[in-house]
Structure 1
Amino acid sequence: MDDIERASQEIFRVFMAEHWVRFYFAMENEGVVFLDVPAEAIEALKGTEAALAEFVAGVNGQPIDMESSRRAVGEFVFRTMEGGSYPTGLVGRAFDGKSLALMLKLFSVWLSGHEEMLDAEVLPLLEWERLFTAWRQDPAVARFAANLAAAGNPATPASGAIH
């Protein structure tokens, strides 16, 4: 696996953490949506994924919308990876690369197909990651991913096609 692929996977995990936080801990107060992550959830994450716990702690208590979510992910990724874990410029290339785009597309499909299950109880972030990884190993999903990768960016298949 090359550096861009590794960076793409690390960036994807931050996107997943951001979505997990919004999925379970977004609250509305007087028309403003903000994140209210319990301290014990951050502490549990800190025990297994210190960097992702740092990200979650950084967005906790903040008002959130699509733009602020994207900005939070980008700022965190560039602050923690660019020029440190990866050479300058590589993180930007990973953000713009096909590998990250494919993972995000697959994640979107997975979320759509599993929302009811995910909504039944608050699952730890690592469980989301385990479930998503297992789903990607399904032969139908692997074929779908290969077709997506080969075709560029086709529309998502009709419901029921891969889940």
Structure 2
Amino acid sequence: MLRSVSVKNAIKDAIEIFQFDQWIRFYFVVEKDGQLHIEIPEDRIREIQENFPTLYPFADMINNSLLDYKRSQDNVCSFVASRLDGEKYDPTVLPQVFDDAQFKVEMYLFNVWQKMHESHLDEAYMDFGGWKEMYEGWNSLDEVKEYRTKLLESGTDPQIPTCGTAQ
């Protein structure tokens, strides 16, 4: 099997998984007995399976589970590793992704977008495709492009949590 060595494509794929996790946690976290849980209704699971078949296994894996920061990070990282590392991409690629400035800046910008639009996103449920479309629209604004360029040129690490990788 020929595996890609494109760090740029691996960054794009990893970012989508991290964004998908954020979307799930935004809409499907419930509190029960003082603990947070992921509960994705069956109709939404079917919708995810139909519209995002490559991300569906992640939603299925975390559905009806406890949620905390460490579990969330572990779940995302293990999914990224199982779907991308050695499968789609050469094993040398993924360690480069999490250290890449582009990855860190894109995740930082996604978090900025989410915070800026939280009240709008909270008004009514929006599927992941809607989130992606809205983010891409915001991301294409000249001000955002300029800000991204400044972040990349400054070399400032936006301190985005990353997955530990064994090299």
Matches within 5 A, 1:123-134: 123-134=126-137
Equivalent residue, structure 2, for 1:56? 59
Count residues with an aligned counterpart: 154
Equivalent residue, structure 2, for 1:83? 86
- Structure having the higher helix fraction is 1
Q: Which has the higher contact order (CA 8 A, sep 6+)?
A: 2
The reply to whether residue 28 of structure 1 matches residue 31 of structure 2 is yes
1:120 to 118, 123, 128: 123
The alignment's C-alpha RMSD in Å is 1.3
Residue 86 of structure 1 deviates from its aligned partner by: 0.2
1:42 to 39, 42, 45: 45
TM-score for both structures, normalised by structure 2: 0.88
Equivalent residue, structure 1, for 2:102? 99
Equivalent residue, structure 1, for 2:72? 69
2:15 to 6, 12, 15: 12
Contact between 2:105 and 2:148, CA under 8 Å: does it hold in 1? yes
Q: Secondary structure at the match of 2:37?
A: strand
Structure 2: unaligned runs, 5 residues or longer: 159-167
Tell me how far apart the structure 2 counterparts of residues 25 and 58 of structure 1 sit (CA, whole Å): 14
Percent identical residues: 23
Tell me how far apart the structure 2 counterparts of residues 42 and 121 of structure 1 sit (CA, whole Å): 18
Residue 89 of structure 1 deviates from its aligned partner by: 2.3
Q: Secondary structure at the match of 2:67?
A: coil
Tell me how far apart the structure 2 counterparts of residues 18 and 35 of structure 1 sit (CA, whole Å): 11
CA offsets 1:127-148 (integer angstroms, 9 cap, x no match): 1011111101001111111111
Structure 1: unaligned runs, 5 residues or longer: 156-163
